[in-house]
Amino acid sequence: MWRAWVFVMLLAWATFAFADKMAAQPSTITSLTWRVRVESWDFFDLGFAGVDNSYTFIASLLRAGINGKASQKQDWQLELAHVSFAGLPTEASAGAGTGALYRTANGGRDGSVFVKQAFWRWQDVAGKGSMLRLGRFEFFEGTELMPKDPTLSWLRRDRISHRLLGNFGWSHVQRSLDGLQFSLDRKSSNFTLLLARPTRGVFDLKGNDQLSKVTVLYGSWTSAFDDRSDGRLFALHYRDSRPVVKTSNTAGITGKVKVTTLGGHYLRTWDAGDGRADALLWGAWQFGDWGQLDHKANALALEAGYQWREAKWQPHLRVGYFVGSGDDNPNDNDHETFFQVLPTPRLYARTPIYNLMNNKDLFVQLMLKPTKRWSVRLDWHRLSLAKANDLWYAGGGAFNNTAFGYAGRQSGGQDRLMDLADVSIDYSPDAKTTWTLYVARAIGKGVVQSSFPAGKNATFLYFEWLQRW
């Protein structure tokens, strides 16, 4: 990993080498956030002695960044992150919730400091409205050309972005990208091109390292059709040559993964009665190689919502259905499981025990706003496997060189996964502080029961404090 260290150190050196140019425009603290979260798991029970499936741990993430201007059209940013844990379970609990994943990835280590972002940015490099960014940064596909309409903006941020490429922001170590990004903004459209490699992180504390054998190439065209609707077309190519076993219902796949995803989204909102209605369509089609297998897969999301703007608590009710294809035959030469690439999975699976691979998700959401400072969200999900002969998948992509990044459990020939109900309560006493309580209950069905005969139900809760300065 010495190349990644050299890359980061050169970026840091370049940043401070130009510090003397900022006398007229001194550097400022651009981001300082501290997040502390207490997580508690009562996980599904394998029935094995020595496996700690019920535990509580605490984690802290401190991010501090500075930026400055080298000229009118050039600026830079340097951000460090510090992560620490206390109370993680034993390694014997591997797979039993997020705490066990942190312990498995880090052994006895419980903290680290690393470079989260370090980039140089040029404005108007190819005409007015263009931008080139080089270095280490965060990137969230689906957030290009964010709309001004608040409903559209919420849909893009919470129901479109991060599906295939994000920073895994809910995890404590998170993910960054080393590479370059070019974007071109016009009045009602945006073109974005990205070439990058992800950093180590997510569950692994060694966030400085780069995954040099994983590369992503992403391009998108986003257009605002009017004030109430927008759409995007995108292409994402993923290449992974790490010498690890690739998770699949076909055992022993060790070759390269080369997957291209083509897709897009369409959003629309409109006034209806005393409120605002919205509709969402997202789809993706994939092809390529999954080691020795031919890869072809697809996914589709359909959602609709209605918000009563004048009613008490401003209720926002949403219903939706998602299907990510699965593989029905582990013995042929095809791999047909939808691949979620490098997402932030918790946006679409708030209890992180499943993801969008081989998944059918019928759900209802209700969001309430009792006061300006309080908000409540309730979700119910009916979860099934798209194909019973495929696996029950969880995870969010590559995070080190020893694990593929996705885990899969046998289905036991079943397709019903679980019913999941959860509630989150957020309190924001001011614009820079948020307190969150989240509680979820998973009622396991045939798939879960086949893997966890001693206890098919699980409870997950956390309490979080987030402060920005």
pLDDT band at 92 (very low <50, low <70, confident <90, very high): low
Which DSSP category does 52 fall into?
-
Give residue 49's Cα distance to chain centre.
33
Q: Look at residue 12 and tell me whether its pLDDT is greater than 50.
A: no
Q: What is the pTM of this model?
A: 0.92
Q: Is 49 left (phi over 0), alpha (psi -120 to 50) or beta?
A: beta
Average pLDDT of span 458-469: 97
Cβ atoms 286, 261 nearer than 8 A: yes
Average pLDDT of span 18-41: 71
Please provide the DSSP assignment of 141-201 as one string: TT-TT--SSHHHHHHIIIIITTSSB---TTSSSB--EEEEEEEEE-SSEEEEEEEEEEBS-
Q: 41-45, 125-129, 398-402 — which is least confidently predicted? A: 125-129
Average pLDDT of span 448-464: 95
pLDDT of residue 94: 56
Closest CA to 160 of 270, 263, 82, 77: 263
pLDDT band at 52 (very low <50, low <70, confident <90, very high): confident
* Burial (0-12, 13-18, 19+ Cβ within 10 Å), 126: exposed
pLDDT of residue 378: 98
Average pLDDT of span 216-220: 98
Report percent pLDDT > 90 for the chain: 86
**Average model confidence (pLDDT) across the chain:** 92
Bridge partners, residue 71, by sequence: 74
The tokens for 388 are 């019973």
**SS3 label, residue 75:** strand
Average pLDDT of span 408-429: 97
pLDDT band at 137 (very low <50, low <70, confident <90, very high): very high
Closest CA to 146 of 194, 188, 195, 196: 188
**Residues ≥6 apart with Cβ < 8 Å to 180:** 132, 133, 134, 194, 195, 196
Average pLDDT of span 238-257: 96
Report percent pLDDT > 70 for the chain: 93
pLDDT tens-place string over residues 305-314: 999 988 999 9
pLDDT band at 11 (very low <50, low <70, confident <90, very high): very low
**Residues ≥6 apart with Cβ < 8 Å to 346:** 170, 352
Distance CA 259, CA 342 (A): 12
